[in-house]
Structures are given as C-alpha cells and as structure tokens.
Structure 1
C-alpha cells in the first residue's frame, strides 16, 4: 500500500491516483452528518484509491474484477422515501473517476457524429429536400443546445452516477426516473447489435466475399475488449475515434465548398439544386420526416453528462465540454446540411435505394464530381464512426443500468462495481445482448430491429423534454428554499428560457412525428402498422409510469415537493459558503478581463 502517498490520494477534488488496478476505501470526512439539510453531502467523503501490488500482472488483472470493498458507513435509511434512498446511493456509487478534460472534450465534440450524419441524412434529404434538412438540423440542434446546457448545469453541480436518470428521480419523481432510465438504457442496448451489423455492411463496400457474420464477430471482440479496460479505455478510444470523425467532417465541408464553387466535373454548382428540383419535397410532411433523421444524428449528445461521475474534475472540464455543443451544431450539422443540399439533388435514386455507404450523401456528392479515391476514405470514416457508436452503446447502457440498480429501480446485481471501477455485470449484460448482431444472417433482421427500435423510438424526445423540465424544477427548488444562483458552479447561458423553448420545440417535433407516422407520405389512409413501428414507445411510457406508481403506491404524490428536494447530496464541494466566494471571485476576474476574452469564455 502507498502509506507515504496517503495525503495525496484525494477523491472529491478529482485528484485521484491514476492506476490500472486499485481497491477502494471510503472514509468519512470530519464533521460529516446524516442530515440531508446540514449542508454536507453523502458524496463528500474522502475517496482513497490503493494500488494492488501483490502478485504478477495476471493475478492483478484477475483481482481487478473482484467487487470493490466499501466500508459500511452506517447511514440509517429508516423512514426515508425511495427518492431519498436513491439520491444517497447514486451519490455514493463508486465509479472510477479517470476521465480527463481531453477525453470529455472529444466525447463532447464527436460523441454524436455517426451514421445518422454520414448516412441517415441522405434519407431525410430524399424525403424532405435540402430545405427540410436545414430546418430539421436547426430545430433539433437548438433544442439540443438547450438540453445540454441545462444538463451541464445540473451535472457540474451534482456529478453523480447515472446523471440525468438520477436527476429525474431526485427533482421530479422516481417513476419518471425508472421509466426514462429503462428506455434510455434500451435505446443503447438495441443500438449495440445494430451497429455491429452496420460495421459488417460497411466493410462489404470493399469485400462481399466474406460472410458478414465474420465481421460482426471481429468488431464484437474489438468493442467488448475496449470496454473491459473500463472508463479509461472508453475515453482513450473515443479520443482517437472522435478525432478522426471531426477531421473527416471538416475535410468534407472544405471539399464540398470547393466543389460548389466549381472544382469538379460538374463545374460551378452554387444553389442549383435548391431551385431544381427545389428546396422541399413532400411539403410539411417531408420536414416532419426529417425530424427523426435529425434526432438519430444528434443521439448520444448527452453522453458527456453521463460521464460526469467518472470525470476527475467535472467543475473545470464539464462546462467547457458543454459549451462545445454550440460549435458542434453550427459546424458539423448546420454547415453540413447546407453543403450536402447544394451537392446532391433529392431526386438522386441512391439516397433511398443505395446499400450502406452508397446511400450516403457525402459519398454520392463526391462520386457525382468524378473523385474516385475519397469515397473509400469516407467509407473508412463511416466504419470508424460505427465502431465509435458501438463503443458508446456499451458505455451508455452499462452506466445507466448500474445507476438504476443502485437507486433500487432494477435488480441490485446490475450495480456491481469491481476494483477497477467498472460496472461489470451491466457491461456483461450489454455484451450478451450484443450477440443479437449475428441476426445479420437472418433474412428478416431489418424487420426485427425496426420493432426493437420502436420500443424507444420517441423516448429520446421525451427524455430531452424531461431534462429541460428537471432543470426548471432545480431552479424552482432553489427559489422555494431561499437559495440563489450564487452557489451554482456553472450557470446555463440559456437559463430557463432555453428550457421553455426547448420543451416547446421538442413537443412540436413529437406531434409532427405522430402525424407522419399515422399518415405516411404517399398513404391514402391511416397506416396503423407504421404508427406502431414509430410510436410504440408512447403508450409504453404511460404503462411503465402507471405500473411503477401502482406497485410502489406513490399516487398520493405526483412529484417531489419543491421544498423537499435535496439540493446538497452528491456535491463534491462541501462548504457552500466557500464555494459561493470562489464563484464570486471567478465572476469578478472574468468581468475585469478584456471583451474578447469574455466573449471567448462565453462560447468556449
């Protein structure tokens, strides 16, 4: 054990030892009490990580899978409500805090760049036209800006296990936390095998002689191996993969602008396709169809907040990562929508009939202008993007399941944390479901996954709405308990205005999706089958909330009272008054800075 380094091993401050294998010990801080209103928090204990030095490398590797050793702190939970118990549990959940600022930055920048942008945007372009793509990305992009800023404020203040699904339980209602937590986990759970199939299909662009099941097996092993290295493995993989995706998108935008200006076989293009065949296809229905493609493209944008509990210093790194959302939306989606709208007419048949990468508007645009090498490069980028999303699927699902388990919302076995800080049972369960990727051999695999995704199709929109509403409840609770924003570490630049407008846009999008699902483009009458494929999650959410409230007998209180909301547990800073002074000093230092620096800090 490292006796001489005991003073250096700090947990709440984020300066924990960065070792590959360690055991865990939690020691009570001086003056810590069991009172929820005392100003202390159950997460304010000093975390001590001790390296495991005994034995050879193999034995240390085996020991890392053993359960983490938690000392019983003797908290008396008698008489506590379900919400209070879950708050304590999520705050004390011992996930490893090993993500650095650079990991979080790259997760924030590249976390949502995947097949939705590279391939799915082509489907939206075909059904709605370039105008619909631009409107869809703008509306969903703005709502995501609202969601992530709201989530960033909460996650910096409370970097607890499970992030937003724990916030739903804490600030709104445990039934809401259960429902949206399960559906969010399911969305990643289903995404994992579908991304494995996408990997196999992408490789077939180069070689169709190899059985796709072989490629599924290869990429399955790669993704599973990455996640066995814990959050550090996930962070390093995303740092590299996201970096490649970012370079590729920026490179395509530059190349696209050059082609629009006349570099290519077609000569000067300009806004030709916005006039002929036109900016819109299928009118307002075409725009509504683009919403799903846009939502799929932005999916995963909230992962940066989910990683807060495993970040060394969320107070410094998370606000920067949150502000990256603006640049993501502006550069990677707004500019991309304009470029592909100028380069590819929505009448191009490959947008709907092309297989895999052949349906990508990026590849189609390059091929139309006689550039032969770049499509292969783009295919490689799409493959990297798919692996990245598959990697995020295991991470997102396992951390959500672990948080739900420690809150007591699903069986406790899923909350098992080993000595390397990995939620190993949740990871293994996710990996097991990933074996569904071998359905690539089934003739009806497309239909199977369509129904799988119907379980959580609209749930993303409602989850994002719930995040904005939870942020509103947090602000209302501060006011109701006589507290102010002076103690809030990171204040959302959009404030409650962002919450109201974000909710309004997302509910409008949901209404549009229900309409086009019930009355699809080209259908003479209502299509019940298409409706259930797209909207099965809507009645399922209602059933889950009602069932949870009925089973636990919580109908008497629809939501947690504002005066009863816990505003302290889960903070890494103990002394609120000291924190207020630090925040005031930082604000004053910023106010004394030059205008250009204040402008930079507002956006970056």
Structure 2
C-alpha cells in the first residue's frame, strides 16, 4: 500500500457547542467569528495535529493511528445511541419485506429465519460493542478488519460497506415516494423524490447532531407504532376488532402452511431476513462520534436484544396469525411496495378505518430513516478509507464541525439516481443496483465476529486477558464463533438458491442477481493483493496491535474500575443484577 501523505499544521482545539474545531494558529478562532463568517468558516477543513507517524510501521498500525485521531465531531449523546440501537434499522425489511418472506417461507419459515438471524445479530453487535468501546475509532468496524485480520480483506470490506450504503439512498428515496401513492397516485413521483432528497440533505448538513436528532425522532415514531401494532394485533387475533371472529392460529392450518415451499422456502427467507436487520451495526460506527462510548455503547448493544425479541419476533408471530401466506397482495410484491405491507393488510383485514394510513405514514418514516442512515454510514466509511490512502484523499475532507463533507456530497450525487424512477427500465436498474449489495451485510457481520476472535487471540498470545477491557461481549468468544459460522452458512445456502432458485430453472441472470456481491468483493480483495504485493492472508496474532487507538491507556486503572463495577453489581439484589445484564 502506498504511504499516506499527510500535511500537518500547528493547531489548537477549540470546543464550542459540542462541535470540534481544529484550527490553524494563523486563523481567527471560532469564538471570534460571528454570523455568516462563522457559518462559512465551519466548512473549512479540519487539521489533525502532528502524530509523528513512523514511516516504517505496518499498514495496519498506520490505519489504527490515523482513524483514532479523526476530527469527527463527538457530540452524539446516550439517548441518540440508545434510540439508534432500538429502532435505527427498522425499515422496509420488516414493514414491507416481511410480506414477501411470509409468502415464500410461510408463517413458520418466517419465524425460524428471523429468529436465527436475530441470534446472529445479537452476537455480532456484542462483538462490535467490545471492539468499539476499546477502540472507538473513525470508521469503526471497517478498520478493525485491516487491523485484526488482513489489510486486503479490510480494504474489500470497507468498500463493500461503503457501496452498500451508497446504493441504498436512491432505493429508499424511490421507496418513500411510492408510499405516498397510497394517498396520491396522480402526482409525479419525482416531486416527492425531490422533497425527500432535500430533507435528507438538510439533515446531514447539520452534522452528526442532526443525524442523531433525526434518528431519535424517526426511531421513536417507529417504536411507538410497533408497540401499538402489537397491542392491536393481539386484540384482532382474539376477535376484538370491528370484523370480529376469533382467528387464533387459523392461518397456520391452511393448505401447505406453515411451510409452503419446504426447506428451500425457509432458506430463501434468510437473505430477506438479513436485509431487515441491515443498519444494526450503525451504533458501532457512531461510537467514534459519541461523547462517552464507554458508558453509552454497552447499553446500546444490550438494547438490540429487546428490539429483536419485541419488535421482530413478536410482530412477525402476530403477522403470521393475521395474514395468510397466500394473500393475493403478497404475491410478486416488491420490497418497496408499501401497499403489500403485511402490517397494512392485517389492519385492513381487521376492518379498522384510518389506521392503515397511519401505518403507511410510519412506513414512509422508516424508509426515510434508512435513507438518512445511508448518508451517515457511507460518508464515515469513505472518510476512514481516505485516511488510510485506500480512497481518493478528497473523501477524507472533514470540516471544522466534524462533518465528512466530501463523503456526504458523493453520497448525495449518487442519490440522484433516484430520478431513474421515471425510467421505463426502473425495476431492472434497481434490481441490479440491489444485487451489488445484496449480501454485503452478511460479509460485514461475519468480519466483525472474526475481528473479535482475532483480537481475543492476540490478547491471549501476549499473555493478557479481558480484565483490561471496559466492556466485554456477553456471549463472548463462543458468540463470535456462532455469528461467524451462521454468516458463512447463510452465504453458502444463498449460493445454492442462486444456482437453483425456488420454482425456477438455473439461469446466469438469476444467479448474478442473487450472488453478485461475492465476485465484487473478491475483485476488491484480489485487486488490493496484486497492487500491494502483500500475499500474506492474515496478520499473525503476535503481530496484532492491541493498544493503539484506545481512549483509555491506563490499563491498571481500567482493571480497577472494571473490578469495582463488577463488585458493585454483585452486591445488588437479584432483580437489579438481571436489569444490569439485559439493560
């Protein structure tokens, strides 16, 4: 890898309203500027102070130093991270995609797939939490791959993750415009696409605080809507709706249910279920921009368990009892067609007027939330790539308010693809765009777990243990192995489905639409190997750096604090110990 050329300046840090300014001594300080001059100055590039990087250190060590000293704003508060963890990734994968999955896998297949993916997600977020609390670096898990596994794999995974989010924005903008057709089918979709585009641009130019506040509101709306649906669903199943009549498990006993397409149908649901959890890892990406990751991130990681249990498992159990898998509106529905949402169908079947519109509004909010998250995810990943000379330097432009401006601008340019919605080839174009990132999250999650496995191995080889860590994964190393193993299994099963699709004969087009992500990742990986001429396939445990990038370097003090915290929790009543474990 070519060495990163860094221009350092003498600098001083001025904190104002939780934004980080790193300014040249030759320029006026932020406090001296007012009005438009202060606004304009906020867009100037921030400069990191001279890190004195040794040119002879390894690529992985350079990455650790550069990303640990990123000038991203650290203004996310605990409530932001909590709500991002609880409701941040709830979007079309749950509200709309679950309908297609119900039709394919049946009510039992739907539950099995989402539960298994849920256990994997829980283990993955816990693994990410341990790494992110210890090393709250810019770019988070996309840099852990280069640090603990292999620089080439890190390069491939970082671009894989950036591409995933770059593609998501135009898809979600089109999906949001389609939800409006529920009320207004006459107005051209481009009008609503433009309105939503401007909204997301505005939010992200307020920086990480804008993202955090927007996600807090979006997630709160989604959480309240799901809680309301759970209560309503129970009432409808028990026969308390306007239509009346006890439903119970009636739709589990119709023809071919609960597994209409057998084992292959259940396997087909796995990728759809994984799509519903995309974005769960964003709480780890946000760690570098939180005020106190040691306190806020562990709580956010624990909240994921409740989201999986309450929002996914309970909701989908109710959906399987309220909507038959062979409902006509579920047949051939796309992943962005809000009218095919099983949530909307369930309410309409219950004979409740007005509420379907409310649920459709929630779906629109969920779609915008994912679109907003895509800008956050891609811009931070691109900034981390640029910091390590794995992307054009301009993408590493971070302004004085901690905004990765170049990454945000690139995302918004690619977001203009949303206007392809007016093209007669719209569906084909977006199918191929989605194919580029279809399996991206599975590779991302598997790599997070493998990074923890390698980190723990490095600690053991160096004669150290987890006592020096402020937070450790609750399922531990076994959870990391489960998360990694399940991701590999799902990718292999997806290869089977891609070659021999459900109800279709093998076709090259179908294969690439389901498996295009894999050759793209291999191209990045092998291309980096050839360019750097580094043919080592992994970093040996004894060579892994387990110290650079930590915010808390006094390990003896950390050990003492961790021991005191454990002793305090052990002294609490049983119910309080249970609360601390899960919350």
Structure 2 length as normaliser, TM-score?
0.95
What residue is the counterpart of 1:583 in the other structure?
562
Paired residue secondary structure (1:24): strand
> 1:391: how far off?
0.4
Q: 1 CA distance for matches of 2:345 and 2:321?
A: 12
How far apart, CA to CA, are the structure 2 residues paired with 1:337 and 1:76? 52
1:545 to 525, 549, 574: 525
Q: Find the aligned partners of 1:395 and 1:22 in 2 and give their Cα distance.
A: 18
1:319 equivalent to 2:298? Answer yes
Give the CA deviation at 1:26: 11
How many corresponding residue pairs? 566
How many Å apart are 1:354 and its aligned residue?
Answer: 5.5
1:272 aligns to what?
250
Partner of 1:47: none
How far residue 103 of structure 1 moved from its aligned partner, in angstroms, is 0.3
User: Does residue 481 of structure 2 align to residue 503 of structure 1?
Assistant: no
- For residues 188 and 275 of structure 1, the distance between their equivalents in structure 2, rounded to whole angstroms, comes to 40
In the TM superposition, 1:130-529 aligns within 5 A as 130-264=107-241, 265-277=243-255, 278-353=257-332, 356-523=337-504, 525-529=505-509
Decide whether the 8 Å contact of 2:249 with 2:321 is kept in 1: yes
For residue 266 of structure 1, report the CA deviation from its aligned partner: 4.5
Instruction: Give CA-to-partner distance per residue, 1:60-117, whole Å, 9 cap, x none.
Output: 11110001133324x1422122112111111111111000000000000011100110
In 2: Cα distance, 1:537 partner to 1:354 partner: 23
* Deviation of the 1:353 alpha carbon: 4.7
Structure 1 residues 324-352: Cα deviation after superposition (integer angstroms, max 9, x where no partner): 11101100111011000000001101012
How far off is 1:462 after superposition?
1.6
* Alignment partner, residue 61 of structure 2: 84
Tell me how far 1:542 sits from its aligned partner: 1.8
- Measured in 2, the distance between the counterparts of 1:76 and 1:223 equals 37
Q: Deviations over 1:196-250 (max 9, x none)?
A: 1011111111011211001111100000000000000000000001000000011
Assess if the C-alpha contact under 8 Å between 1:22 and 1:51 holds in 2: no
Deviation per residue, 1:140-198 (Å, 9 max, x gap): 00000110000000000000001101100101111111101101111110000111101
Over residues 22-63 of structure 1, what are the superposed CA-to-partner deviations in whole Å (9 max), with x where a residue is unaligned?
522699xxxxxxxxxxxxxxxxxxxxxx97133432221111
TM-score, normalization by structure 1: 0.91
Tell which deviates more after alignment, 264-273 or 241-250. 264-273
Using the TM superposition, name which of 145-154 and 509-518 deviates more. Answer: 509-518
CA contact (8 A) 1:159 1:308 kept: yes
Counterparts of 2:20 and 2:324 in 1: how far apart (Å)? 56
Counterparts of 2:97 and 2:308 in 1: how far apart (Å)?
16
Q: Deviations over 1:437-483 (max 9, x none)?
A: 11110011111111112222222212211111110001000000111
- What's the counterpart of residue 37 of structure 2? 59
TM-superposed CA distance for 1:20, in Å, is: 6.9
Paired residues of 1:20 and 1:420 also in contact (CA < 8 A): no
CA apart distance, 1:538: 1.2
Q: For residues 246-287 of structure 1, what are the alpha-carbon distances to aligned partners after superposition, in whole Å with 9 as ceiling and x for unaligned? A: 000111111001100111214100000011132111111110
Contact in 2 for aligned 1:21/1:60 (Cα 8 Å): no
Q: CA deviation at 1:594?
A: 1.3
Q: Is the 8 A contact 1:21 1:64 kept in 2?
A: no
Instruction: Determine the structure 2 residue equivalent to 1:23.
Output: 21
State the match for 2:4 in structure 1: none
Whole-Å Cα distance in 2 between the matches of residues 387 and 24 of structure 1?
Answer: 32
Alignment partner of 1:127 out of 88, 93, 104: 104
Pairwise mapping of residues 563-582 of structure 1 onto structure 2 (< 5 A)?
563-582=542-561
Instruction: Indicate the SS of the match to 2:96.
Output: helix
Q: Using a 3 Å threshold, how does the CA distance of structure 1 residues 298 and 76 change in structure 2: closer, same or farther?
A: closer
For 1:522 and 1:360, how far apart are their aligned partners in 2? Answer: 23
Give the aligned CA root-mean-square deviation in angstroms.
1.7
Cα deviation for residue 590 of structure 1 reads: 1.1
Q: Give the SS at the match of 1:236.
A: helix
What CA distance in whole angstroms lies between the structure 1 residues aligned with 2:219 and 2:491? 30
Q: Indicate the SS of the match to 2:492.
A: helix
Aligned to 1:109: 86
Q: Distance in 2 between matches of 1:266 and 1:537?
A: 47
Of 275-284 and 114-123, more deviation after overlay is shown by 275-284
Give the match for residue 40 of structure 1. Answer: none
| CA shift digits 1:522-571 (9 cap, x unpaired) | 12x3122111101011122222211101110110x221121111111111
Unaligned runs of 5+ in 2: 1-11
Contact 2:386/2:393, CA 8 A, preserved across alignment: yes
Q: Distance in 2 between the 1:459 and 1:225 partners?
A: 28
CA distance in 2, matches of 1:64, 1:352: 51
Q: CA deviation at 1:419?
A: 0.4
